[in-house]
Amino acid sequence: MKPLEVVFLLITIAIATLVIFLLQPAMLSKEWGLLAAKSSSIEDWRQQLMWPSLAVNYVLGILATLFWIAKGASFKSVKSRNTLSMVSLWWIICIAYGLISLAVAIGLSFFYDLINERYFLEFLVYLSVFAVVDVLLMFWLPTAIATPRTMRYVPPGSQLLRSIYGG
């Protein structure tokens, strides 16, 4: 990887980390008032459900991104057809990461509601939206900016992003 790609990869991961572990929890705190649930329910939910869900999404994002970057670093192709075939792999990883993140959010919400006999669909909605945002921040953006070598233009939007920062 080029040094500039490494710098932008680290910057995007740092931004994603701040959004996932600072902004998203702050949005769902009682101070922001976005949730209609009672304060005690919000705090219980944050401890029991939100933090594990965000942590799983974050770890999955890191793993998916590292896998893709490693694949890009080791991929050697002389035919553009082989490089274009990697587009489907990128989408498979992206969709799998998104579906697993959603499954974790929905599964945790379902079991939390089932065990506590309190049903807060708003928790599920916020975690589902956050799962999609996490996929964009933890997988799409880093791979679009820092995929090395011949696969650098495989992620959607990578050509535009690289033209902006000169990568």
pLDDT tens digits along 53-94: 899 999 999 999 999 999 999 988 777 788 888 999 999 999
Segment 124-147 mean pLDDT:
91
Say what the pLDDT of residue 135 is: 95
Cα–Cα distance measured from residue 68 to residue 90, given in angstroms and rounded to the nearest whole number: 8
pTM of the predicted structure, to 2 decimals: 0.86
Say what the pLDDT of residue 167 is: 67
Q: Given pLDDT bands bounded at 50, 70 and 90, which one contains residue 98?
A: very high
For 152-167, give the DSSP string. TT-STTHHHHHHHHT-
Torsion angle in degrees (nearest 10) through CA of 103, 156, 73, 18: -60
Burial of 79 (0-12, 13-18, 19+ CB in 10 A): exposed
Cβ–Cβ < 8 Å for 39, 30: yes
Residue 165 identity: Y
Say what the pLDDT of residue 116 is: 65
Say what the pLDDT of residue 118 is: 63
CB count in 10 Å sphere of residue 127: 25
